[in-house]
Structure 1
Amino acid sequence: MKKLVLTGAAGRLGSYLRAPLAAMCDEFVSTDLRESVQDLAPNETYVKADLADLDAMVALLEGADMVIHFGAIGDEAPFETLLGPNFIGAYNIWEAAYRNGVRRVVYASSIHAVGMHRKTESIGIDAAHRPDTFYGLAKCFAEDLASLYWDKRGVESVCMRILSCAQVSNSRAVGSWLSYDDLIHLVERAITTQITGFSIVYGVSDNDRAPVDNSGARHLGYRPKDNAERYAKEIFAADGPLDPHDPANTHHGGAFSAVELGNSGVAQMKLNAEDTGKS
């Protein structure tokens, strides 16, 4: 790759991706709303930019081969709060990609696009959208945008429906965990696969209790290696019996399935301090 662009570079997941992405290209541009980030790679340039500014995104993506789009508010919030970064920002990325002839958008989608499906349903990549929050609705919007820009404008996309990329600290994560190593592997395969068209893949490790089916995305070559089962006994003992009538326990979206619209889902999850980001 000559040039890769990463949005959300100052976020928790973006921070893990910067070094691996820089190693994949000649020129690496990272961006976020912070004034700066530390430990720039020799070929990395950081640009402060607002996703809601179309002109800024067009300039940022000039000459890029692909954009890895992780920038957004990573929690449920009022619709008006999410409108700029999560909805308009997604449109601006795909439109900027089209205007610049960028080949592919690799997008951090989320399980929350289908979060109201029940966990007893093992859903595949063709599951119908059932968002659990405005945050999940933004992921549905971006996935449909990706489909539209492939069908009508030829911009490829890989939409990675991340389940929970954080330390295994609750019963849900025994099935939904995506390790950081597997995240990097997934993003690398989303970039290096020769042809993707419009593709959806679940971002989840090789967990015994993974509640989703990735077989429809095998063309991406994503083969996760980590398994959260090694944490199961300890986590289940600590959590005790779960309420089978609580949507947080019965639906794919976890706590996001149970919160009122506009209220934080992350605040209801038992996460370590360093993991309070995108889920």
Structure 2
Amino acid sequence: MRILMTGAAGGVGTLLRPRLARDGRVLRLLDITAVDPGPGEEAVTADLTDPAAMDAAMDGVDAVLHLGGHSVEQPWQDILEVNINGTHVVLEAARKAGVGHVVLASSNHAVGFQPRVDEAPDYLFPRPDTYYGVSKVAKEALGSLYHDRYGMAVTCLRIGSCFARPKDLRMLSTWLSPDDCARLVEASLAADGYHVVWGVSANTRGWWSLKEGRAIGYEPQDDAEVYAGELIAEFGEPDPAAIDHALLGGRFCGPQLDADNLTRER
């Protein structure tokens, strides 16, 4: 089995590479930045917005894990070209190559302006918090289209915070451990149909449903609570009224990401 991983040089891709390694599996690592391949890996340096390059990268591919694109807020034109158009280029190349399964990295920022509740349901209606969040809504919509029109199996992962360990109080609720991320990807690669799944571990303080994830075979094993003592000692108790905890998108909902501020920063 050959899996094309876009954005392989990024944070999530780097964490996943050793965890997705299997006998009989080849990971084809694609990024605009050169990647040094290890055993069971192939490397492709290419821009995912280049249709010819993506067509070539799909040769012999059985499944796609699409992680590529801007991972934080950027001006609209950059988000439009890389995250939205780039996803279309990837899906269209996959369709033409007859790829049957695609996993798309979405984000909690697709629903960032939704208020926090005890267990946000699966398929929560979009309320993006940024242009970046809009691109994740578009990614989910494109995945739905390619499933319904072309029969492609597509799973969209609304990833929370995927790091080696949680970095702040918010991540006690939103953390997706690298090992659980790999478990979720494995389940998604085997899932038929179209799914939108929360990308989160089994956190004691979790905000999001795990029902759809479990329905496709994801069984999270990790819990950010093991880090709670040290994080609370460093930052104090969480304030439910603070933007980090009141809205699903946290600080992405704040005024520092208004369009005028992005223009000035650029």
* TM-score scaled by length of structure 2: 0.91
1:11 aligns with 2:10: yes
Equivalent residue letter for 1:101: G
Q: Which amino acid aligns with 1:227?
A: D
User: In 2, Cα distance between the equivalents of 1:182 and 1:243?
Assistant: 27
Which residue does 1:30 correspond to in 2? 29
Alpha-carbon distance between aligned partners in 1 of 2:171 and 2:187, rounded to the nearest angstrom: 23
Equivalence map 1:86-125=2 (5 Å): 86-120=83-117, 122-125=119-122
**Residues paired across the two proteins, number:** 259
Equivalent in the alignment of 2:221 = 225
Counterparts of 1:214 and 1:51, CA distance in 2: 31
Residue equivalent to 2:167: 169
5 Å-filtered alignment, 1:64-103, equals: 64-103=61-100
What is the 5 A alignment of 1:41-80?
41-80=38-77
Tell me by how many angstroms 1:47 deviates: 0.8
- Is the 8 Å Cα contact of residues 76 and 261 (structure 1) preserved in structure 2? no
Q: What CA distance in whole angstroms lies between the structure 2 residues aligned with 1:170 and 1:154? A: 41
In the TM superposition, what whole-angstrom CA distance separates every residue of 1:174-224 from its partner, at most 9, and x where no partner exists?
Answer: 111111111111111112x2x421111111111111100121332211111
> Hey, what's the Cα distance between the residues in 1 that align with 2:8 and 2:178?
15
Q: Alignment partner of 2:257: what SS?
A: coil
Give, in whole Å, the separation in 1 of the partners of 2:247 and 2:134. 16
Runs of 4+ residues over 6 Å off in structure 1: none
CA contact (8 A) 1:66 1:105 kept: yes
TM-superposition CA deviations, 1:121-171 (whole Å, max 9, x none): 521112101111111110000001001111111111111111011221211
> Which runs of no fewer than 5 residues in structure 1 stay unpaired?
265-279
Q: Which sections of structure 2, spanning at least 5 residues, go unmatched?
A: none
Q: State, as a whole percentage, how many aligned pairs show the same letter.
A: 39
Cα deviations by residue, 1:252-274 (Å, 9 ceiling, x for unpaired): 1111122423568xxxxxxxxxx
Match of 1:240 in 2: 236
Tell me how far 1:41 sits from its aligned partner: 2.6
Alpha carbons of structure 1 residues 148 and 238: separation in structure 2 relative to 1, 3 Å:
same
Cα distance between partner residues in 2 of 1:22 and 1:174: 28
Aligned Cα root-mean-square deviation (Å): 1.8
2:253 to 215, 234, 257: 257
Partner Cα separation in structure 1 for residue 236 and residue 39 of structure 2:
49
Q: Which residue of 2 aligns with 1:21?
A: 20
- SS of the residue 2:30 aligns to: strand
Q: Quote the Cα distance in structure 2 between the aligned partners of 1:218 and 1:244.
A: 28
Q: What TM-score, normalized to structure 1?
A: 0.87
Residue 62 of structure 1 contacts residue 100 of structure 1 at CA under 8 Å; is this kept in 2?
A: yes
Determine helix, strand or coil for the equivalent of 1:123.
Answer: coil
TM superposition shift of 1:27: 3.4
